[in-house]
Amino acid sequence: MSSRNFASSSEQAAVSSGGGCLSGYILPPLAVVCVGALLMFFSLGSANPPVPAEIQTSSQPMPLSNVFTPEVQFWAGRIQVWSAAAGLDPNLVATVMQIESCGDPRAGSHAGAMGLFQVMPYHFIASEDPYDPDTNALRGLNYLSRSQETAHSNPRLALAGYNGGIGVIDWSESGWPAETQRYAYWGSGIYAEASGGAGESLRLQEWLMAGGSSLCRQAHDRLGINP
């Protein structure tokens, strides 16, 4: 991972209004209808109207694909929570966890990266435990969110920025470090299949055969998952 920056977000709301029963002079029959509607309104008091179905379901978490390995699926519930807090697609978050640690909370690298999302030490404050899953996710996913914003929601570029530093997003891919090129290749393929509803990920199987399986065996043992 490279230097992490924190992104801010803004919300916009649009409200429109139009004329109603009291917006002008009307014919008597319509006036009766309007008065009746007003009486019904006051008789209901402050009762809340039903919430439209599309609003009721809009707050539901996005589903996590079944393509990820059991070690990543172990964290499915937490991934949903972390993703919602960071404003990210849980399948993108799971893709990063898959490649970085395969769900091993104690994973480490020769470069010093730590935990589920392989965060470098300088992204934590002194009082934090880098291997605590919630802390690791907070620091890692804040940077992924920033990378995605810089990449204008292009998942391949966001993944490249997470691995090689946000600055590489503006480079030609041919100028990316070899590790970042491989990372974008694995990650973009896995994410595309996961978010597209595929029953399995051929790119994930390719990653496992290329060496990812050893990382997953380590995670499997660490988490105590039954065979």
The phi-psi region of residue 5 (left if phi > 0; otherwise alpha if psi is between -120 and 50; otherwise beta) is: beta
**Closest by alpha carbon to 191, among 82, 68, 74?**
68
**Phi and psi torsions of 4, nearest 5°:** -95, 135
Query: How many C-beta atoms lie closer than 10 Å to residue 128's C-beta?
Result: 13
**Closest by alpha carbon to 148, among 157, 140, 139, 136?**
157
The phi-psi region of residue 181 (left if phi > 0; otherwise alpha if psi is between -120 and 50; otherwise beta) is: alpha
- The whole-angstrom separation of Cα 130 and Cα 135 is 6
**Phi and psi torsions of 108, nearest 5°:** -140, 165
Query: How many C-beta atoms lie closer than 10 Å to residue 151's C-beta?
Result: 19
Helix (H) or strand (E) holding 33: helix 28-44
* Helix, strand or coil, per DSSP, at residue 119: strand
- Name the active-site residue from 100, 149, 179, 200: 100
128 is catalytic: no
Report, as residue numbers or ranges, the catalytic residues.
100
